[in-house]
Amino acid sequence: MRDYTTKLTELQRSHQAAVAKANEYTNPDLSAEGIDKRRAELIAKAGEDHKAKLDHLAREFKDEATETKRVAAAAIPTPAGDTSQAWGRAKMLLEAGQTLQQIVAKADPALLHAVTEWGPTYLEAEAYKGRSDGFAPVAVDAAPLQRSIRQRWTQVLDGFAPGRIERGAEAEAVEAEFQVTAQHFAARLDGIHVGADDLTAAIEARLAGQRAGAGLAKEGDAA
């Protein structure tokens, strides 16, 4: 999947080169006004060409990322039955002071299914603790938990499943990074001022990819 971010970077560089070449255009048979007009036309043409290429690349990437994530999800087995008994084990560990991260890190398949089903509700319940207004909604991001669970599945499964799950996780992270960069580039091609230069956008894209690949924080990690 990383080759798509490489292709996107190459497309940005191609556009920069086309714009630079357009700005260098000159013609002794044209007036200064005529040269400026021709340069503007060349820049607009470069934008149109690269917008079409960006749209095509984005569609290709979306199709492949969607299929990769589907295959990854299918590699995880479905629970054999009710998960409440296994969640009871998890609750005892939580009450004894274990964290969800610690539980997931050594979970067997039954416990992984239980945490998948009940873990988000547990996180929501924990978020309500200590609040003066218990009716106010809380925002709980269960994605890091689900990513940690998927990572554990790669350790307890065999065959082709671990590789498929890992490729699905990579697709999610690359997708987050790709989208930030592609949106910034598309805005520039459309002549929209986005308030961020290319370097800032690149940093934001990298951070988005890191967030999309992060699991539960380990005890002692910085918040």
Domain-wise residue ranges, the chain: 2-76+162-211, 84-156
Q: What tens digit of pLDDT does each residue of 118-144 get?
A: 999 999 988 888 777 766 777 889 999
Q: Which amino acid is it at 62?
A: K
Averaged pLDDT score across all residues of the chain: 93
Q: What is the pLDDT, as a whole number, of residue 197?
A: 86
Distance CA 211, CA 205 (A): 10
What does pTM read for this prediction?
0.86
Q: What is the pLDDT, as a whole number, of residue 193?
A: 80
Q: Which of 101, 111, 110 is closest to 148 using CA atoms?
A: 101
Q: What tens digit of pLDDT does each residue of 17-71 get?
A: 999 999 999 999 999 999 999 999 999 999 999 999 999 999 999 999 999 999 9
Q: What tens digit of pLDDT does each residue of 141-193 get?
A: 999 999 999 999 999 999 999 999 999 999 999 999 999 999 999 999 998 88
